[in-house]
Structure formats: structure tokens, C-alpha cells
Amino acid sequence: MSHTAHIRSHRKPRRSASTLAMRAGVAGGVLSTLAVAGASGSANAAEPVTQTLELPTLTADLAAQVAQSADATQQAAANYELRAERDAAAAQAAKEAKADLAEAKKKAAEAKKKAEEAARKEAAERASRTSERATLSASVDTGTSVGTGSGTSAGSSTSTNTSTPSGSAAAVVAFVQAQVGDAYVSGGTGPNSWDCSGLVQAAFKQVGVDLPRVSQAQSTAGTQVSLSNLQPGDILYWGGAGSAYHVGVYVGDGMFVGAQNPSTGVIKASLSYDPPSGAVRVL
């Protein structure tokens, strides 16, 4: 035996072919597993990229839905606001209409009250005129003086002709006496309302005498006569000849007929009721 035979060799013993093959298989399996794991890892690593690409699409859809919901909410709010405004406007209109109705009723009541007061006043004035006319008629029957003329009494120095009128004078006298009680209206020429010169003109027109329309001209239309020598049918005037402001007709017995004023209308009264300034004779 060799002197080195008992020393263990430093070389590793050779592995058998089967061991190598087994190890190669194990290694291959490990590599295969690693390869599959690597492939799986690569696949798993790629998945976030795919999800990242799809995320914006999902976010955009969600944003659109949110925006649509916001628009719907805003529209609903606008509708509620509009409805509230309409309700408020309707309430205000109703309030104003109620106030207008109340004001109209108030004005109507005031107008009715004024109309009633005017009617009462008119009735009182009408009653007063009727009473005054009755007093004038009574004065004609008794021959007493009435009114507030110049204060001249029935027993004044004015004397008149009391002869009964005839012919044209009688027709003039009859016409003016038939109008006693008619209304006085400025500018009136009949048949139911007169002013002073309109009545005189219409009376003389009955007998074919065409007199001027106004009292100033009528006061100079005939021959001037004295108030102490009057005859029925003479024209009496108040004021100056040519500037008279009132006229009437002498009807005899110290009486005259004239359209005096709106309060009395056409009256028959004594000369002392309102003594004239002069007279003219046309007939």
C-alpha cells in the first residue's frame, strides 16, 4: 500500500449522472417556476396600466352625471323660485285689487252722498221758488207790495194806466202771463225757459213786431214814455236807455211780468217789487 493511500483526496468525488440529471431537472423546474412567476409578475405589473387607462373614462362619466344632476337641481331651484315669485305677484295683485275695490266703494258712497245732498238742495230750492211764487200770486190778488226792490211801496207816486188792454197789447200781455212759472235760463228763448229779453222778444213776435234780441237795444226800440203814464204792453227796462240790463212787460194794474233770475224764474209782480228805470212803447 502506498504511503499516501490513507490520506483522503482533496478532490470532490464525482457526482453520478443520475444526480446531475436530477439536479438539472430541479434547476429546470425552478427556472420554469421562476419564468412562470416572472411572466405572472409581468402580467400583474401590466394590469395597473390597463386600469389607469380605463379610469379617466369612468371619471368622465361620473363627472357628466354629477354635472347633469347639478343642472337638474339648479333647474328645480329656478322653478321653485319662479313659482314663489308668481305666488308673491298673485298675492300682491289680489291685495291691490282688494284695495282698489275698497277705494271704488268709498268713492261711490261719496258720490251717492253728494247726489243725495244735491237732490235735497234742489228740492229745497224748488220748494222755496214755489213758495215765493205763491206769495207773489197772493200779492197780485191783494194788491200789496212784495219783494226787496228799491223799497218803493205800493202807495208811491208812480201812477199807471189801468185800462184793459186790447188788440196787439192784449195778445202781448196774454202771452207773457202764460209763461209765469217757467224757468229762467240765460240765453233762453222758450218755449219753457227764458231770459228777460228772450221773453219780451217772443211776446212781441206774436203780434208781428220784430224786436232786437238784447235788453240794451230793446230799451230804445220804441218811444220813451213816463212811468206815470204806462199802458199794458209797454216795455219796462232797468238801467239806462241803451244800456239797460233787464227788461219786462207792463201788464196793467201796477203789475209787470218778467224773467227775473234762476231763483224766481218768470214772475208776475208789482212795480214796487223791483221798480223799473224807464219804459218804451212799441205798439
144-154 pLDDT, tens per residue?
A: 433 333 333 33
Asked if 225 contacts 158 with a C-beta cutoff of 8 angstroms, the reply is no
| Pick from 6-20, 52-66, 179-193: least confident | 6-20
| Burial of residue 241 (number of CB atoms within 10 Å: 0-12, 13-18, 19+) | middle
Q: Higher confidence at residue 215 or residue 107?
A: 215
Helices (H), the chain: 17-142, 167-178, 196-205, 215-218
Across residues 110-119, what is the average pLDDT? 77
- Which positions ≥6 away from 38 have C-beta within 8 Å? none
CB count, 10 Å around CB of 258? 30
Please tell me the predicted confidence (pLDDT) of residue 147: 38
Cβ contacts of 271 within 8 Å, gap of 6 or more: 152, 158, 160, 227, 254, 255, 256
Element spanning 241, H or E? none
Q: What is the pLDDT of residue 115?
A: 76
β-strands 223-225, 193-194 pairing: unpaired
User: Residues 182, 188, 194, CA angle at the centre, nearest 5°?
Assistant: 30
Average pLDDT of the chain to the nearest whole number: 76
Q: Which of 43-57, 84-98, 175-189, 206-220 has the lowest mean pLDDT?
A: 43-57
Superfamily of domain 149-281: endopeptidase domain like (from Nostoc punctiforme) (3.90.1720.10)
Phi–psi pair at 159, nearest 5 degrees:
-115, 150
